[in-house]
């Protein structure tokens, strides 16, 4: 039962990766159509990240109150609706407002699923989980490469992403009975409630601070290329928007491949040795 649930979780976790590469893939077309400065991508990225971090801090309270399945389903739906509205926006200020629920939904999914898998599965499972994040984040630039190549339409790309997220939210609802059966078969659900530490307690935890530093560095490198890779290829190398999106797909596919390798390494080495 736990294995079947993990398979569902893997597909659901694709939904976390889908929105993360959307802005970077579509931005070369977005800023030209809206007539804004190319550098404003940084502001949108900041707002999305701010909402994601905020959701992560408060996710434990939501999970304790509603449960992991409900929080995940609602977050997938919220992210999907935000993507739909993003594709409908005609003004930059509207994109800024929509960026907040978009980031909040993604942050809640991340905290809910990661916490669930971390308490019930091993480090190898966690790496496999993040491989499917890589699948999601690789799908998005490929979708935009198709829509931009056909009629240079970034809005259709966002609509396709909306469909994917709503489908995953429905898949999450279908899996609700499986979550309940798995919880009953392993241990009582209350044993797995997140430890709701205060911010002061979090900052005093040495292991957590060191992991924050490592994660900050790796994410900064990955995020920079993801946010600006397409724009760089279009504005400085003269590539079409659709072609630059293909290159971004290959970039994320490479990261996904390395995560597959990490999953196998975790079977032979401890997490500390790998770091």
pLDDT digits (tens, 9 = 90+) for 221-267: 888 999 999 999 999 999 999 999 999 999 999 988 887 777 666 66
**Range with the poorest average pLDDT among 29-33, 46-50, 188-192, 240-244:** 188-192
Rounded Cα distance, 274 and 265, in Å: 8
Q: Which domains does the chain have, with CATH numbers?
A: 12-274 (1.20.1250.20)
More confident residue, 217 or 238: 238
- Averaged pLDDT of the chain: 85
d(CA 145, CA 247): 9
What does pTM read for this prediction? Answer: 0.85
**pLDDT one-digit tens code per residue, 130-169:** 888 889 999 999 999 999 998 778 999 999 999 999 999 9
CA distance 227 to 31: 13
% the chain with pLDDT above 90:
48
Give the whole-number percent of the chain exceeding pLDDT 70. Answer: 85
What pLDDT score was predicted for residue 113?
A: 86
| 8 Å CB contact between 2 and 186 | yes
> What is the per-residue pLDDT for 188?
47
The two three-digit tokens of residue 112, written as one number: 């809910």
Average pLDDT of span 99-122: 85
* Greatest extent of the chain over all pairs of C-alpha atoms, in Å: 58
Look at residues 60, 39, 48 and name the one whose alpha carbon lies nearest to residue 19. 48
């Amino acid at each position: 039962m736990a294995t079947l649930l993990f398979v569902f979780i893997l597909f659901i976790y694709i939904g976390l990766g889908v929105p993360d590469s959307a802005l970077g893939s579509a931005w070369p077309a977005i800023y030209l159509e809206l007539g804004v400065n190319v550098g404003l991508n940084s502001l949108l990225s900041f707002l999305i990240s701010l909402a994601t971090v905020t959701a992560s801090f408060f996710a434990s309270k939501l999970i304790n109150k509603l449960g992991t399945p409900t929080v995940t389903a609602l977050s997938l739906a919220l992210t999907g609706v935000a993507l739909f509205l993003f594709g409908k926006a005609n003004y930059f200020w509207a994109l800024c407002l929509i960026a907040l629920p978009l980031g909040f939904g993604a942050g809640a999914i991340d905290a809910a699923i990661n916490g669930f898998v971390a308490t019930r599965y091993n480090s190898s499972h966690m790496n496999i989980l993040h491989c499917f994040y890589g699948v999601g984040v690789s799908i998005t630039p490929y979708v935009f490469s198709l829509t931009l190549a056909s009629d240079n339409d970034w809005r259709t790309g966002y609509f396709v992403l909306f469909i994917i997220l709503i489908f995953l939210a429905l898949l999450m609802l279908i899996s609700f009975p499986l979550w309940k059966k798995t919880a009953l078969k392993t241990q009582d659900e209350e044993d797995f409630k997140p430890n709701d530490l205060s911010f002061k307690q979090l900052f005093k935890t040495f292991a957590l601070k060191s992991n924050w530093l490592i994660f900050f560095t790796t994410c900064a490198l990955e995020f920079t290329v993801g946010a600006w890779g397409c724009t760089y290829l279009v504005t400085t190398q003269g590539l079409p928007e659709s072609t630059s999106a293909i290159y971004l797909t290959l970039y994320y596919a490479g990261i996904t491949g390395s995560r597959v390798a990490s999953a196998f390494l975790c079977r032979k080495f401890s997490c500390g040795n790998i770091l």
